[in-house]
C-alpha cells in the first residue's frame, strides 16, 4: 500500500515484554506479526498479514490473525484506520497522524494532528465533543484528480 514516514521507536523485545506484562502468551504467529509491523512501517490489513504469514505457518487460520490483532490493539501496540470503503488497516501505535484519501484514485497522505488543532478546539468548546483524528481517513479529491476533472469539463 502506501508508505508512511514514521520513526519507529519500539523494538521486538519491548513489545514482547508489554504483551507478557498484560498477561498474554508469546506465540510464533504473534512474534511474526510484530516483526511485520516493526520492519514495515506501512498500513497493513488482516488479509495482507495472513497472506504473508501463511507462507511460513501453513496451518495458520485467519481468525488467529484477527485475535492477535485485537490483543495487540488492546495492549495499545497497534492502532487501526479505515480508508474509505476498504477494510481496517493496522499500524504501530506511534507517531499517530490523520489520513486523507482521494475518493477517485485512493492516493493517501498523512497529516499531523496539529493541522486540525483549531477545528478540534472549536468543536470541543461549542459541541463538547472530542474529535478522534486517526480512526477514519478524511475523504476528498487529490490535486491530480481535480486537474483531470477540470480538463474533462473544459473538453466538453
Residue ranges that bind Zn ion, judged by CB under 5 A: 91, 102, 104-105, 107, 142, 145
8-state DSSP, 113: G
Other C-beta atoms within 10 Å of 33: how many? 26
Minimum distance from CB of 87 to Zn ion (Å)?
Answer: 10
How long a stretch of residues is the chain? 156
Instruction: Between 2 and 54, name the residue whose CB sits nearer to Zn ion.
Output: 2
Rounded to whole angstroms, the Cα distance separating 42 from 74 reads: 20
Minimum distance from CB of 79 to Zn ion (Å)?
Answer: 8
Minimum distance from CB of 156 to Zn ion (Å)?
Answer: 20
Minimum distance from CB of 73 to Zn ion (Å)?
Answer: 9
Helix (H, G, I), strand (E, B) or coil at 85: coil
Instruction: Between 4 and 53, name the residue whose CB sits nearer to Zn ion.
Output: 4
Instruction: Between 64 and 141, name the residue whose CB sits nearer to Zn ion.
Output: 141
Report yes or no: 23 and 71 within 8 Å, Cβ to Cβ: no
Strands 98-102 and 108-111: antiparallel
What lies within 8 Å, CB to CB, of 23 at 6+ separation is none
Instruction: Between 52 and 79, name the residue whose CB sits nearer to Zn ion.
Output: 79
Amino acid at each position: 500500500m502506501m508508505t508512511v514516514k514514521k520513526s519507529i521507536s519500539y523494538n521486538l523485545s519491548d513489545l514482547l515484554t508489554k504483551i507478557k506484562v498484560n498477561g498474554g502468551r508469546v506465540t510464533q504467529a504473534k512474534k511474526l506479526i510484530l516483526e511485520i509491523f516493526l520492519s514495515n512501517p506501512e498500513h497493513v490489513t488482516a488479509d495482507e498479514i495472513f497472506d504473508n504469514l501463511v507462507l511460513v505457518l501453513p496451518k495458520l487460520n485467519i481468525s488467529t490473525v484477527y485475535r492477535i490483532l485485537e490483543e495487540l490493539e488492546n495492549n495499545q501496540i497497534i492502532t487501526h484506520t479505515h480508508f474509505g470503503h476498504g477494510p481496517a488497516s493496522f499500524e504501530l501505535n506511534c507517531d499517530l497522524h490523520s489520513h486523507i484519501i482521494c475518493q477517485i484514485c485512493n492516493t493517501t497522505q498523512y497529516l499531523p494532528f496539529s493541522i486540525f488543532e483549531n477545528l478540534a478546539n472549536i468543536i470541543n468548546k461549542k459541541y463538547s465533543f472530542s474529535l478522534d483524528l486517526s480512526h477514519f481517513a478524511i475523504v476528498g479529491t487529490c490535486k491530480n484528480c481535480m486537474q483531470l476533472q477540470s480538463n474533462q469539463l473544459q473538453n466538453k
